[in-house]
Amino acid sequence: MADAIITATRDLAGDAFDVLRRSVDGLDADALNRRPAGPDTNSIAVLATHALGATRLLMSLAVGAPLPARDRDAEFAATATGPDALLGAIDAIAAECLAILDDAGEVDWGAPRRRTRSDGSVWEMTAGYALLHALDHLRGHADEAALTRYVVTRS
C-alpha cells in the first residue's frame, strides 16, 4: 500500500510545479529577470531557480535520499535568457523530485534528519518537517512567481 503522505505530497508538489511553470511560460528574458519592487527583491528566474534547488534538497533530506549538490547563493543570482531553459529545469527537477518520492519506500516521518549548511551550521529536523517544509517553501515561491508575473506583465 502506498504511503498516504507521499501520495498527497506528489499531488501538492505537482500543483505547485504547475503554478511555477505557468508563471514562466511565454515570458521573455526581460520579464523573467525583472525585479519589480527593486534590486532587493527577486525575479521570476530567481524564484523558480531557488524553489527548485530547495525543493529537491528538502525532499531528498526528508526521505533519506542522497543530497544533491546545491549552490544557494547562485540561485539568488540566476538569470534567464528566455523561458525554454527555465521550463526545462522546472520539468526536469519536478520529475526528479517525484522520482525521489516514488523511490522512498517506507519512511519514518519522525526520524531525525541533519544537514550541514554551507556556513558550517547544522540544521536538524524530522523527516516529516523536511517534507512539509519542502512543500510549503515550493508553494510559497510558486505563488510569489505567479504574483510577480502579474506585476511584470502589467507594468
pLDDT score recorded for residue 118: 83
pLDDT score recorded for residue 6: 95
Q: How far is CA 138 from the centre of its chain?
A: 4
- pLDDT single digits (tens) 54-89: 999 999 999 999 999 999 999 999 999 999 999 999
User: Is the whole model's pTM more than 0.75, yes or no?
Assistant: yes
Q: Delimit the domains of the chain by residue range.
A: 4-152
Q: Is domain 4-152 annotated with CATH 1.20.120.450?
A: yes
- pLDDT single digits (tens) 12-34: 999 999 999 999 999 999 999 99
The packing angle between helices 127-152 and 44-63, to 10°, is 170
Query: Is 50 a residue whose pLDDT tops 80?
Result: yes
pLDDT score recorded for residue 1: 59
Beta carbons of 137 and 58 less than 8 angstroms apart: yes
Section 130-145 average pLDDT: 98
